[in-house]
Copies of this chain bind each other. A is one copy, B any other.
Amino acid sequence: MNHTTHHPRKIRQLLPIQDVRLDGGFWKDRQELITGVTIPYIWEALNDRIPGVPKSAAVENFKAAAGLSDQGFFGLVSQDSDLAKWIEAASYSLMIKPDAELEALLDGVIEILDQAQEDDGYLNTHYSLNGIDKRWSFLRESCELYCAGHLIEAAVAHYEATGKDSFLRIARKYADHIGRVFGREEGQKRGYCGHAEVELALVRLYRVTGDEEYLRLSKYFVEERGQKPYYFTVEKAAASSDRNIMEHLVYALEEENYQHSQSHLPVREQEHADGHSVKGMYLYSSMADLALEYGDGELLQACKRLWDSVVGKRMHITGGIGSSAVGEMFTFDYDLPNDASYNETCASIGLIFWAQRMLRLEPDRKYADVMERALYNGVLSGLALSGKQFFYTNPLEIWPEACAVRKDKEHILTERQHWFDCPCCPPNISRLITSLGQYIYTLDEDVVYTHLYMSSSAKIGSGSGAFTLVQESGYPWNGSVRLRIEGEAPVKRTLALRIPGWARDYAIMLNGVDITKETAVENGYAKIDRVWTDGDTLELLLPMDVEKVYAHPKVRYNGGKVALQRGPVVYCLEEADNGPVLSGISLPRESKPEARFEEGLLNGVVALYADAVKTAVEQPALYSAQRPAEEKVRIKAVPYYAWNNRGRGEMAVWINER
């Protein structure tokens, strides 16, 4: 591993969120589902107006802290973050689709937040309602800075969406308070949060305000993590510790071993992705942010090591991460059990956050490949086609009876839920999908990198060099992508198109002329340098064959098994299509799966069909020297993300191969 320190050459920009709009196709449909159904649904849930689901009280808590309600605090210490993430998603929704009613609703919520904020800037309903004297006393589990981070992110989004600074002022006041409380000066607490999040939020706050204090505070939190003496040991011993009211938490795992919060070592010394997977993704994202802002090559190297650890050894084919339900955490290399991994939706979302930041440090398709993998599979599986049900865990294999009966599988839910006691995933998936435009491009000085393919239009550059880049694509069902330049003046740029890792071949056409052979590919990006004029059209043709994919042999769980993937979409078998006992199916090596788009299936998907064999389900004995009878069957696979939209049943991504 190369530990040499070097500096990123330049900072690659993201396009302002408003400047990239999805125009149609697969993701526009999902954005409309989120803005039209999910965001209103979550608002109802946060206001406890959906019968039969776990209580939220997220809004009520803020009203109570604002003196507008006499209810006590309800919920987890992370409860404030649910509302914050909803505000962030709703703000992105306003950028996609102006909505005066929603904007007014947000104004009202922000007014409550304003009233709930303490005079010194502190803003956390759990402590305001349960005893503010205990604040900042048990950072390991209190989620205060985590909640603060989400409030800050939401405020930045709201400001960017509306131009109003009503929420941003609240967030800055809170961030300023945090800056006074934490640090290495006399009288400051030398702590950091047990759940990373505020670190990346402060970078966003710095970027929107230009106030470098926020960047320094982020750097402090990131650098202090894992230093000795361990802050979490110190705070636990303190008389003022609030540890007692946290004792119900499952994360008591980390007594004297702070891997769970990635606080066991200074971040620059961390070699493996350990601990809680969402915490990890948020921390690594902030490390990438700081590596970028400070040109910190050593921090970049740490990010790259951790990236290789996650992506090379600890990630499911779906982009699911976190192999242990207990602790919702990473375990060890190649431990990727299909029927037991946690694979929290939020962790795969965090992986996308991190990948986007790595792409700003170095444009290498390996980051975009993972971003795409997580997006089309392990993230999207978290959302029902209805937009109103959600998976928290995203296993790759389900035997419903086992999850119902076995205590070691009780964390694995077999059906999407309407709401959760800890409803972190629904607003998280909402804020990601409403801000997807941010993930398509990065801009180098003269290079436009295209990382994701989705029908969209993006405003690039300003003044006389401005142009619009219009993408049209049937992705992910076909791999034809067309990029059209719309602009008044000719503009010299390099367009860099990602050739996905899954593609066996590709062709590039410029205004109808095949330029594949003349086009250099660097780090997975085909670069076309040219003076572009209005109407120039670049086409990328990616044949989407059905691929049989194999896991590394050290993944014990997948020995002798194969998965099916087409383009970025990973497939699974469902009981609804193939009957029970999916483990009885074997795919012969010579079988060639076929793809067929089916309009009426799961809102329109490409399904895969293949000749296979299946053992007869009924057999006389539990053990027999007679090989079970087999029959030829035609198996049908559907996109993994769409599983469990037709009732409860068995599901399997990995299929026995013969």
Contacts and interface: CB of A to CB of B under 8 A. Distances in A.
Contact of A552 (B406, B623, B627): B623
A625 to B, nearest CB: 5
Interface in A309-325: 311-313, 315, 317, 323-325
A550 B623 contact: yes
A554 B617 contact: yes
A335 B405 contact: yes
| Chain A interface residue bracket vs B | 35 or more
A656 B622 contact: no
Interface string A405-425: 111100000000000000000
A621 interface: yes
Given A408-B324, A550-B628, A399 B317 contact: no
Contact of A583 (B550, B559, B565, B586): B559
B621 A656 contact: no
Interface stretch (A93-101, A120-128, A298-306, A326-334): A326-334
Interface in A559-602: 559-560, 563, 565, 581-586, 589
A623 B615 CA distance: 28
A134 interface: no
B405 A622 contact: no
Given A331-B405, A550-B628, A622 B311 contact: yes
Q: How many copies of this chain? A: 2
A306 to B, nearest CB: 15
Interface in A520-572: 547-560, 563, 565
A626 interface: yes
Interface string A129-142: 00000000000000
Contacts of A656: 559-560, 656
A402 interface: yes
A164 interface: no
B549 A624 contact: yes
Contacts of A555: 622
Contact of A408 (B312, B408, B548): B408
Given A560-B656, A656-B560, A622 B552 contact: yes
Contact of A554 (B317, B581, B589): B581
B627 A332 contact: no
A197 B197 CA distance: 56
A64 B549 CA distance: 66
Contacts of A565: 625
A340 interface: yes
Interface string A107-119: 0000000000000
Contacts of A44: none
B326 A408 contact: yes
A446 interface: no
B408 A622 contact: no
Nearest to A622: B552
Contacts of A340: 406, 408
A445 interface: no
Nearest to A627: B550
A407 B335 contact: no
Nearest to A340: B408
A550 B401 CA distance: 22
A615 B335 contact: no
Question: Of A407, A552, A558, A623, which is in contact with the most chain B CB atoms at under 10 Å from its CB?
Answer: A623
A553 B332 contact: no
A616 interface: yes
A282 to B, nearest CB: 23
Contacts of A617: 553-554
Contact of A551 (B315, B548, B589, B622): B622
B622 A313 contact: yes
Given A335-B401, A335-B406, 18 more contacts: A312-B622, A313-B622, A324-B407, A325-B408, A332-B405, A399-B556, A408-B408, A502-B625, A547-B625, A548-B625, A551-B622, A552-B622, A553-B615, A556-B583, A558-B583, A560-B583, A565-B625, A658-B658
12 contacts: A313-B622, A324-B406, A331-B406, A332-B405, A335-B406, A399-B556, A547-B625, A550-B628, A557-B583, A559-B581, A560-B586, A563-B623
What 10 pairs between A and B have smallest CB-CB spacing?
A559-B583, A326-B407, A560-B656, A408-B408, A553-B615, A556-B583, A553-B584, A547-B625, A332-B405, A552-B622
Interface of A: 311-313, 315, 317, 323-327, 331-332, 335, 340, 399, 401-402, 405-408, 502, 504, 547-560, 563, 565, 581-586, 589, 615-617, 619, 621-628, 656, 658
